[in-house]
Structure 1
């Protein structure tokens, strides 16, 4: 569809899509008409109407134009008009007032909330805003989502590695600390993120598998607490048995060797030097390849159960001795039970050396 417009001057429309039609021609002047596409007229009409709306809103002095955006991703916990719409007003204070009006709490991470022009009008009424001062243009609704970030397993693992190195095992290889179970995918609102261990773990018993609590701190506040499951290895050269070592046997050089092993479960007691073993005996039977620890070896007693000993009774002017038999193992200075062989009575005496016990009066 075309429209015809009359003009009063002769002009050629080179390259124009408009058609020039001669209406009349005289000696003094000529008139022509242009045929303009209807779509162009519609665009012009829309622009003119928007200008009229804009000027009408401003004519009230305190008026404003609110244009909802199509989609908005926000970081704030509260949705305000200013976060989901563009506001135009000559009154700066009024524009600021409108911008700060709360609509609702931000949607949960992973969800989208739709707000309509009617929702905005409701809030405006609740804030005693005269709707005759407000003109809405553009979109009828806006989709709002919360800006989010993902907490990755790698972030949590690096935090755990740093904590263990700084507070528990300074010389552990970072790569020997791994996740025993992959944490669930965690998406949280965007903000300042940090991690924290909520309690002192310096007394924790380290083992191959440990669980530690990790707090996720969002903008200075606890957002969530996770339990992080870790697999930990601590490889060291330690003393191991080369063959079966019977209980009570004195351990010799031929019984042991040095070997690299994971000792995380035996951290406090694994022996890392052969000199710690020499001169000691097995408190229990030790299997070939077993790591020697302070719990399974001991210093041999001076007197062993069943040993024949001399019983000494010493007075200021009298010294009496008798033959006895130890009824239990005894170390120097220890009080043990001893049987007097001649009288077959059980007495207690203090271990002096490997052959002598003394009755204390």
Structure 2
């Protein structure tokens, strides 16, 4: 029977297993199960069936001393176990004392959907579903910022041109601005029953609820900070 103890010490997850008569299979199952659980914790959208964890240097565990009845190893809570990782695995005797340490080399693959561009998408274009090609790839080879849902991409605009077959990343796209730099807007001033309106030009891209610089047509050199209300109106605190 295998008994396991788990300890969360600082930012390290320590796993200790006692198996009575220790074998490679005990270690293989325990380490692979823990690695798979770590991936699911870090990437909840990845199914367990799409995770492959293996020990590459199994030969170092072929000559386990009969005195070893348990083992312990640490996986830092903030670590990324995708790809290859060296795990110091300590073999324990019946008293819990360390007999020796084995450097176990693991490899973890986790497959999930990524979204590629079907064509050259030019800077400033708004992306629609027809621009996307979904493919299942190993997460270990890509950035977490490229792990996106279709809904995170469709309807956004590109910050720069994106070549065909490029995997989309969050840094490549942005929300479509409510007001674009250079657009003519209405400057709205309202305070203590006084309501004024003037024309102005947006000096920045802006989004509803955000603030941008605007230049008043009333006084060309006057730059005012205003709040974007909608596609045409900016609320300002002063007009002159």
Alignment partner, residue 164 of structure 1: 35
Measure, in 2, the Cα distance between the counterparts of 1:333 and 1:175.
Answer: 42
User: Is residue 346 of structure 1 aligned with residue 217 of structure 2?
Assistant: no
2:156 to 268, 280, 284: 280
By relative contact order (CA 8 Å, sep 6+), the higher-ranking structure is 2
Measure, in 2, the Cα distance between the counterparts of 1:330 and 1:231.
Answer: 45
**Matches of residues 5-16 of structure 1 in structure 2 within 5 Å?**
none
Alignment partner, residue 10 of structure 2: none
Alignment partner, residue 8 of structure 2: none
2:86 to 211, 236, 257: 211
Q: Per-residue deviation at 1:156?
A: 4.8
**Matches of residues 164-313 of structure 1 in structure 2 within 5 Å?**
164-169=35-40, 171-173=47-49, 176-179=52-55, 184=60, 187-199=63-75, 201-219=76-94, 220-264=96-140, 265-267=142-144, 269-272=146-149, 274-313=150-189
Please list every run of 5 or more consecutive structure 2 residues that lacks an aligned counterpart in the other structure.
Answer: 1-20, 42-46
Task: Provide closer, same or farther for how the CA distance between residues 192 and 180 of structure 1 changes in structure 2, counting only shifts above 3 A.
Answer: closer
Name the SS of the counterpart of 1:235 in structure 2: strand
Alignment check: 8 A CA contact 1:349 1:360 kept: yes
Greater than 6 Å deviation, 4+ residue runs = none
Post-superposition CA distance 1:270-300 (Å, at most 9, x none): 124x333222112343332222233432221
- For these two proteins, the number of residue pairs brought into alignment is 210
Post-superposition CA distance 1:13-43 (Å, at most 9, x none): xxxxxxxxxxxxxxxxxxxxxxxxxxxxxxx
Alignment check: 8 A CA contact 1:237 1:259 kept: yes
Please list every run of 5 or more consecutive structure 1 residues that lacks an aligned counterpart in the other structure.
Answer: 1-148
Measure, in 2, the Cα distance between the counterparts of 1:268 and 1:223.
Answer: 42
